[in-house]
Amino acid sequence: MSNASGADAFNASITGSPATEGVTVMTALPSSLGDIAPGGSVTSQLDYYVPEGVAYFKVTVQASANDACGTNYNYPGP
């Protein structure tokens, strides 16, 4: 996850990872990524169960983080 803003992103975490074609995330979520400095990034690995016969699938990674005032931001946003 990257922080393209000019402010710290606090308590960043991966909160979900829905997928198509019967694929399911196996990694325990939420997954804490910690704080991310402006312009910084962190990496995380998510493992998936892919049923036999599935040749392709789509994943949406959902994440959240707080700003210095405690406002929570969810990505992708509504």
Burial class (CB in 10 A: 0-12, 13-18, 19+), 72: exposed
Q: Is residue 4 part of a domain?
A: no
Q: What is the pLDDT of residue 7?
A: 96
CA pseudo-torsion sign 17, 29, 40, 76 = positive
**Closest Cα to residue 30, out of 42, 43, 47, 12?**
12
Whole-angstrom distance, CA of residue 27 vs CA of residue 73: 22
Q: Give the chain's domain count.
A: 1
What is the residue range of 51's domain?
A: 9-68
| 75 lies in some domain | no
In a domain, 78, yes or no: no
Q: What is the pLDDT of residues 34-73, one digit of tens each?
A: 999 999 999 999 999 999 999 999 999 999 999 999 999 9
**Is 73 inside any structural domain?**
no
Q: How far apart are CA 69 and CA 78, in angstroms?
A: 21
In a domain, 41, yes or no: yes
What pLDDT is attached to residue 28? Answer: 97
Instruction: For residue 61, tell me if it sits in a domain.
Output: yes
Residue 22 lies in a domain: yes
pLDDT at 66: 97
What pLDDT shows up at residue 78? Answer: 60
